[in-house]
A and B are shown apart, each in its own frame.
Chain A
Amino acid sequence: MTLLRKAGASWLPIYAGLYLLFLYLPVLLLPVFSVNASAIPVFPLKGLTFDWYRSLAGNDALINALWNSLLVGVASALLATVLGICAARAITRYRFRGRRPMTAVIMAPLFLPEIIIAISLLMVAMQLGLGLSLILVIFGHVLICLPYSATVLISGFEGFDPSFEEASADLGETAFGTLTRVTLPILMPAIISSLLVSFTISLDEFIIAFFLSGSEPTLPIYIWGQLRFPAKLPGVLALGTLMLLASLLLLTFAEMLRRRAAKRTQLDGGFHA
């Protein structure tokens, strides 16, 4: 029995190592070839260069696309999180008829191919005579972010004890004061992770932006355009490396924030227990 468990415990870490290798190797090629002196991504490497990074700096089309992506990402994250908060609060706090079917509709985009969301919004926009724009992209992104944001927020809200709010009201705090001094601080970690998850989904989304962005490309659309020219590939790889670094920084920051919040609530829990 213990022997078997030991065997299990010894092949699992090896498997985990191999799996991580499979996940990482393709991705690690990006930084490697982004500093390679040759424009063709083949081994052996030709020599170290930072030219590809330099070529990104003065690129107006790229900066415009980056700007569009940030705008869409921030707007989608905010809207998805506000709608997610309403949904999560309603679902965790109240029991009412129609709760399950309504929740299922909100979660539906998780189980739909993105292309149907893209073309259905495209057809509505055309039907109504609206031009394609980043606003449409935001509407689409909010739809696909909502299931994730709602899930994160629901799990964050589930542990929230409404008696804190009642206590705050009993002690003479106004409704607004209760919201800003009791409810929000406790729920903040969930809200921040919802914002981050939604922002990153939007930043990376291609299909919806491809159909709806019209003449204002987002970053993935810009990259897609560049991929048609083999000579531009190293520049794209350099851009990808920078994006990876940026998201790593953001993630590490978020993780630190989460740990801090977790520590604080743990302490609080200790006090009340």
Chain B
Amino acid sequence: MPFAGTRPPARRPRWKRLDPEEVRGIRLLSPTFLYTLAFLVGPVLLVVAYSFWTQTYLTFDHTFTLENYRVALTEPIYRDLLMRSLYISFIVSLVTVIFAYPIAYYISFHGGSRKSLLLFLITIPFWTGYLLRVMAWKVILGYKGVLNTGLIGLGIVDKPLESLLFSSTAVIITLIHAWAVFAILPIYVSLEKLDRSLLEAATDLGDGPVRRFLRVTLPLSMPGIIGALLIVMIPTVGDFVTPKLVGGTEGQMIANAIQIQFGKASNWPLGSALTITTMMIVTLMAGASVLVLRSLVRWMR
């Protein structure tokens, strides 16, 4: 606060205090900012408003109530779906980031002149389209799918495994594959920014490779790790394509229930409350993960 402590100025002088540079900046940013206000912030506020209302058939009752939140948080079906969605998105983001880190590290530190080729190679599978990648896993994990026939062919099992497709595991595997590149890129960027002379300094001061990695490389790439974790964790919690195609009844997620509220069940207030609840809880989970990671780094240093 640059003006903390001074008397709040009258309106005109306050605007006058913005120098022309600032005015130009704000004016230039405002189309984009106003767009986001109009199409994101406004609509999300409407969802929040709806979540406190009730609906009987086609008429809305605009009196304030927390009933929808009570249903969203206590009805076993929604509670279970929510817990499962959080569990799936947590596992997926964690595993994706752990698998992605060595790849990002390899490209950044050992990629040499092939860096852009390697990045290109990693992105290619993602140009098939989201639906088709999910479909490919259905083909792999199916009862007579590629994995089962392969396992039988190798003599590892003698009859097809039934539990592969239509389970939470199928959803997790598919999502880990679908989101891989979103984890690799932020980590790669943060490793690229890392000043290599710091590593030399650590070596000169007697740190071995492992210690140097834990005390220099890992902490300095933490922004990338956190970015990757959030970029995977938050969208996956709201996915409904993957659970619908490979999840079966046991692998359904909260977004499937939300979609039903806006489709067949036609209960917008409940759908809104489910959406807001999911968003709040996933934000809390993401925030907690970031705090844990940060304190882990501090402890290692």
B215 at the interface (CB under 8 A from A): no
| Partner of B131 from A99, A102, A108, A227 at Cβ < 8 Å | A227
A102 to B25: give the CA distance in the assembly, Å. Answer: 11
A255 to B123: give the CA distance in the assembly, Å. Answer: 12
B interface, how many residues as a size bin?
35 or more
Shortest distance between the CB of A224 and any CB in chain B (Å):
6
Contacts of A188 in B (CB 8 A): none
Q: Tell whether, in the assembled complex, residue B121 and residue A95 are in contact, meaning their CB atoms are under 8 Å apart.
A: no
Name the interface residues of B1-56: CB closer than 8 Å to any CB of A.
Answer: 18, 21-26, 28-29, 31-33, 35-37, 39-44, 46-47, 50
A102 to B30: give the CA distance in the assembly, Å. Answer: 9
Contacts A9-B110, A211-B262 given: A86-B177 contact, CB under 8 Å?
no
Q: What is the chain B residue whose CB lies nearest that of A12?
A: B106
Name the interface residues of A174-203: CB closer than 8 Å to any CB of B.
Answer: 200, 203
Shortest distance between the CB of A130 and any CB in chain B (Å):
12
- Contact pattern, B 259-275, Cβ under 8 Å of A = 1, otherwise 0: 10010000010011001
Q: Tell whether, in the assembled complex, residue A27 and residue B136 are in contact, meaning their CB atoms are under 8 Å apart.
A: yes
* Segment of B62-70, B75-83, B229-237 engaged in the interface with chain A: B229-237
Contacts of A20 in B (CB 8 A): 121-122
Contacts A94-B25, A139-B39, A244-B128 given: A83-B32 contact, CB under 8 Å?
yes
* Segment of B139-147, B164-172, B292-300 engaged in the interface with chain A: B139-147
Q: Tell whether, in the assembled complex, residue A115 and residue B238 are in contact, meaning their CB atoms are under 8 Å apart.
A: yes
Name the interface residues of A89-106: CB closer than 8 Å to any CB of B.
Answer: 89-91, 93-99, 102-103, 105-106
- Contact pattern, B 273-301, Cβ under 8 Å of A = 1, otherwise 0: 00100110010001000000000000000
A84 at the interface (CB under 8 A from B): yes
Q: Tell whether, in the assembled complex, residue B21 and residue A95 are in contact, meaning their CB atoms are under 8 Å apart.
A: yes
Contacts of B282 in A (CB 8 A): 113
| Partner of A94 from B24, B33, B124, B209 at Cβ < 8 Å | B24
Q: Tell whether, in the assembled complex, residue B26 and residue A96 are in contact, meaning their CB atoms are under 8 Å apart.
A: yes
A237 to B39: give the CA distance in the assembly, Å. Answer: 35
A257 at the interface (CB under 8 A from B): no
B155 at the interface (CB under 8 A from A): no
Q: Tell whether, in the assembled complex, residue A98 and residue B120 are in contact, meaning their CB atoms are under 8 Å apart.
A: no
Q: Tell whether, in the assembled complex, residue A255 and residue B28 are in contact, meaning their CB atoms are under 8 Å apart.
A: no
A5 at the interface (CB under 8 A from B): yes
A1 to B39: give the CA distance in the assembly, Å. Answer: 56
Contacts A206-B241, A220-B129 given: A26-B24 contact, CB under 8 Å?
no
A269 to B230: give the CA distance in the assembly, Å. Answer: 37
B135 at the interface (CB under 8 A from A): yes
Contacts A123-B47, A251-B120 given: A236-B132 contact, CB under 8 Å?
yes
Q: Tell whether, in the assembled complex, residue B136 and residue A113 are in contact, meaning their CB atoms are under 8 Å apart.
A: no
Q: Tell whether, in the assembled complex, residue A89 and residue B258 are in contact, meaning their CB atoms are under 8 Å apart.
A: no
- Contact pattern, B 92-115, Cβ under 8 Å of A = 1, otherwise 0: 000000010011011100100000
Contacts of A87 in B (CB 8 A): 28-29, 32-33
Contacts A16-B103, A139-B39, A236-B132 given: A227-B125 contact, CB under 8 Å?
no
A91 to B29: give the CA distance in the assembly, Å. Answer: 7
A139 to B39: give the CA distance in the assembly, Å. Answer: 7
Pick the most buried of A111, A121, A142: most chain B CB atoms within 10 A of its CB. Answer: A111
Contacts of B36 in A (CB 8 A): 105-106, 108-109, 143, 146
B137 at the interface (CB under 8 A from A): yes
Name the interface residues of A203-219: CB closer than 8 Å to any CB of B.
Answer: 203-204, 206-207, 211
The interface size of chain A toward B, counting residues with CB under 8 Å, comes to 84
B255 at the interface (CB under 8 A from A): yes
Q: Tell whether, in the assembled complex, residue B103 and residue A115 are in contact, meaning their CB atoms are under 8 Å apart.
A: no
Q: Tell whether, in the assembled complex, residue A15 and residue B131 are in contact, meaning their CB atoms are under 8 Å apart.
A: no
Shortest distance between the CB of B263 and any CB in chain A (Å):
9
A8 to B235: give the CA distance in the assembly, Å. Answer: 33
Q: Tell whether, in the assembled complex, residue B129 and residue A240 are in contact, meaning their CB atoms are under 8 Å apart.
A: yes
Q: What is the chain A residue whose CB lies nearest that of B49?
A: A123
| Partner of A83 from B26, B31, B123, B177 at Cβ < 8 Å | B31
A211 to B261: give the CA distance in the assembly, Å. Answer: 12
Q: Tell whether, in the assembled complex, residue A23 and residue B180 are in contact, meaning their CB atoms are under 8 Å apart.
A: yes
Q: Tell whether, in the assembled complex, residue A106 and residue B32 are in contact, meaning their CB atoms are under 8 Å apart.
A: yes
Shortest distance between the CB of B235 and any CB in chain A (Å):
6
Q: Tell whether, in the assembled complex, residue A116 and residue B28 are in contact, meaning their CB atoms are under 8 Å apart.
A: no
A247 at the interface (CB under 8 A from B): yes
Q: Tell whether, in the assembled complex, residue B129 and residue A42 are in contact, meaning their CB atoms are under 8 Å apart.
A: no
Contacts of B252 in A (CB 8 A): none
Q: Tell whether, in the assembled complex, residue A113 and residue B238 are in contact, meaning their CB atoms are under 8 Å apart.
A: yes
Contacts of B278 in A (CB 8 A): 113
* Interface contacts beyond A27-B124, A113-B235, A115-B255: sample of 19 additional A-B pairs, CB < 8 Å, sorted by A: A4-B208, A20-B121, A27-B125, A43-B149, A86-B31, A93-B25, A94-B21, A95-B21, A96-B22, A96-B25, A105-B33, A106-B32, A109-B36, A109-B40, A113-B255, A113-B282, A124-B42, A143-B36, A204-B130
- Leading 8 A-B pairs by shortest Cβ distance: A113-B238, A94-B25, A120-B43, A90-B29, A90-B28, A247-B127, A96-B22, A96-B25
Listed by A's residue number, 24 A-B pairs whose Cβ atoms lie within 8 Å are A1-B203, A4-B209, A4-B210, A9-B110, A26-B137, A27-B128, A30-B128, A42-B145, A83-B31, A83-B35, A90-B28, A93-B25, A96-B18, A96-B29, A103-B29, A109-B40, A120-B44, A123-B50, A207-B239, A211-B262, A223-B132, A224-B241, A243-B127, A248-B124
